[in-house]
C-alpha cells in the first residue's frame, strides 16, 4: 500500500494538533471615557468593548462613580444622569469573561459641574368636600441632594375658625413659610421641606375644624440650589382688582409666592408682576383660581412689589403668601 503524503494533502502538524490556531488572545478592554458632565444633565456616555478571552463578557464599574451613572453589564454602555457634583477619581470599567479573567480600562477622573439653581412646578391637584385632604402620588421631579419642595396650599368652604396646623411633604414635616387666613373658612399657606429623595410622594395638610364641605388645592414646586428656610416672608388678603405684598430677596435668591383668587369678575386668570407664573388651577367654573409664581433674582431686591392682578379689572378677593430663599 502506497504511503500517505501529508504535504500533498495540504495539512500540517502544529503543537501535536492537526491544523493551526494556537492559544486564544488574552482578554483586553478598550473605550474612551467622557471626562466631564453636568449635574442633573444626561451624561454623554461611552461604551467599553472587550476582545479576546472567552465570551460571553460581563461589564462593571470600578470606583465611586457619580450617583445616577450606571453601566449595561451586557453591552458595556455607560450612561445616566449624575445627581451630584464634584471630582470623581480612580474610576474604571472592568470586563470579566466566562473563564473569570478580568481586564480594566486605565484609571481616569470625571469632573461633574454643579447644576445651576432652578425652580419649577411639578404638580397641581384639587380635592373637593373632604375634611382631611391627602394629595397622593404627586410628582417631585428628579432627586437631588439639595432639593426643596414647596407646597402652596389653599382651601375654602371650611368651617368658621378653621386653620392650618401643619403639613407633610413626602413624609417630611414641612415648615410654614407664610399664610393668609380669614375667619370665614378660607386660608392659604406656603409650606417648604427638604426632600432629597423620591420621585413622587404625598402632600398632606393638617387643618383644624375643617368641616365636611372643605375644598383644597395644591401647587407643588421643586427648587434646587436654595435654602429651605426663608430670609423674608409676606402674606395678606384684600378685595380689589389687584393685590401687592412687598418682599426682600438676596442676590441669587428666589422669591416664591402663591395666590388664591375668588370672584366672578374677569376671566378667572391671575397675572403676576415681578415673579413668573408656574401654575394656574381653575375650579368652580373659573370663579376660583389658585396660582403659584417664582423668580430667581441675579441682584438683591429690596421691598420688591409682588403683585397679583385680576385681568380685565373688577373686584375679587385675593389671598397671598410667600417668601424669599437665599442661594446655597
Tell me the pLDDT tens digit for each residue of 288-314. 899 999 999 999 999 999 999 998 778
Band (8; pLDDT cuts 50, 70, 90): very low
Comparing CA positions, the residue from 90, 83, 107, 82 lying closest to residue 29 is 107
Per-residue pLDDT tens for 110-163?
A: 999 988 899 999 999 999 999 999 999 999 998 888 999 999 999 998 888 899
Mean pLDDT of 165-169: 97
What's the pLDDT at 22?
A: 59
pLDDT computed for residue 15 by the predictor:
30
- pLDDT of residue 19 exceeding 50: no
- Radius of gyration of the chain from Cα atoms? 31
Cell numbers for 164: 392650618
Task: Give the pLDDT of residue 283.
Answer: 86
The pLDDT confidence band at residue 36, using thresholds 50, 70 and 90, is very high
Distance in angstroms (rounded) separating the CA atoms of residues 32 and 74: 18
Q: How many CB atoms lie within 10 A of CB 53?
A: 21
**pLDDT average, residue stretch 254-273:** 90
Give the residue extent of every domain in the chain. Answer: 25-113, 118-325
Extract the C-alpha cell encoding 61: 464599574
**pLDDT value of position 286:** 63
**Residues 6 or more apart from 185 whose CB is under 8 A from it?**
155, 156, 157, 158, 159, 160, 161, 162, 211, 214
Contacts of 242 (CB under 8 A, 6+ apart): 307, 308, 309, 310, 318
Q: What is the mean pLDDT of residues 203-220?
A: 95
Residue 260: what pLDDT? Answer: 95
Please state, in angstroms and rounded to a whole number, the distance separating the CA atoms of residues 235 and 246.
Answer: 9
CATH (one of 2.60.40.10, 3.40.640.10, 3.30.365.10, 3.90.1150.10) for 25-113:
2.60.40.10
pLDDT over threshold 80, residue 4: no
pLDDT at position 309 is: 94
**Confidence check: pLDDT of 267 > 90:** no
47 vs 14, more confident: 47
- pLDDT tens-place string over residues 222-241: 999 999 999 999 999 999 99
> Per-residue confidence at 184, pLDDT binned at 50, 70, 90?
confident
Q: Is the pLDDT of residue 211 over 50?
A: yes
Comparing CA positions, the residue from 96, 38, 100 lying closest to residue 62 is 96
Task: Output the average pLDDT for the chain.
Answer: 91
Give 250-269 as a DSSP string.
-TT-EEEEEEEEE-SSSSS-
Position 11 scores a pLDDT of: 31
pLDDT > 90? residue 84? no
Amino acid at each position: 500500500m502506497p504511503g500517505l503524503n501529508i504535504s500533498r494533502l495540504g495539512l500540517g502538524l502544529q503543537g501535536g494538533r492537526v491544523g493551526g490556531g494556537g492559544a486564544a488572545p488574552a482578554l483586553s478592554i478598550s473605550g474612551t471615557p467622557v471626562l466631564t458632565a453636568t449635574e442633573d444633565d444626561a451624561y454623554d456616555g461611552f461604551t467599553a468593548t472587550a476582545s479576546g478571552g472567552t465570551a460571553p463578557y460581563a461589564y462593571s464599574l470600578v470606583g465611586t462613580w457619580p450617583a445616577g451613572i450606571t453601566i449595561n453589564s451586557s453591552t458595556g454602555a455607560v450612561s445616566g444622569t449624575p445627581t451630584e457634583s464634584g471630582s470623581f477619581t480612580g474610576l474604571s470599567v472592568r470586563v470579566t469573561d466566562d473563564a473569570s479573567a478580568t481586564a480594566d480600562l486605565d484609571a481616569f477622573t470625571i469632573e461633574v459641574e454643579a447644576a445651576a439653581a432652578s425652580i419649577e412646578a411639578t404638580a397641581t391637584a384639587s380635592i373637593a368636600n373632604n375634611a382631611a385632604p391627602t394629595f397622593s402620588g404627586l410628582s417631585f421631579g428628579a432627586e437631588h441632594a439639595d432639593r426643596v419642595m414647596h407646597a402652596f396650599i389653599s382651601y375654602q368652604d371650611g368651617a368658621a375658625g378653621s386653620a392650618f396646623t401643619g403639613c407633610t411633604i413626602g413624609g417630611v414635616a414641612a415648615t410654614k413659610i407664610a399664610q393668609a387666613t380669614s375667619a370665614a373658612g378660607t386660608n392659604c399657606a406656603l409650606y417648604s421641606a427638604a426632600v432629597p429623595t423620591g420621585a413622587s410622594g404625598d402632600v398632606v395638610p393638617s387643618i383644624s375644624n375643617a368641616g365636611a364641605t372643605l375644598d383644597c388645592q395644591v401647587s407643588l414646586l421643586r427648587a434646587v440650589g436654595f435654602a429651605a428656610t426663608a430670609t423674608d416672608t409676606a402674606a395678606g388678603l384684600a378685595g380689589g382688582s389687584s393685590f401687592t405684598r412687598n418682599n426682600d430677596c438676596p442676590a441669587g435668591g428666589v422669591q416664591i409666592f402663591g395666590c388664591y383668587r375668588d370672584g366672578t369678575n374677569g376671566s378667572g386668570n391671575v397675572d403676576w408682576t415681578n415673579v413668573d407664573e408656574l401654575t394656574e388651577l381653575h375650579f368652580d367654573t373659573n370663579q376660583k383660581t389658585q396660582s403659584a409664581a417664582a423668580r430667581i433674582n441675579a441682584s438683591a431686591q429690596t421691598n420688591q412689589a409682588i403683585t397679583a392682578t385680576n385681568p380685565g379689572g373688577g373686584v375679587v378677593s385675593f389671598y397671598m403668601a410667600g417668601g424669599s430663599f437665599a442661594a446655597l
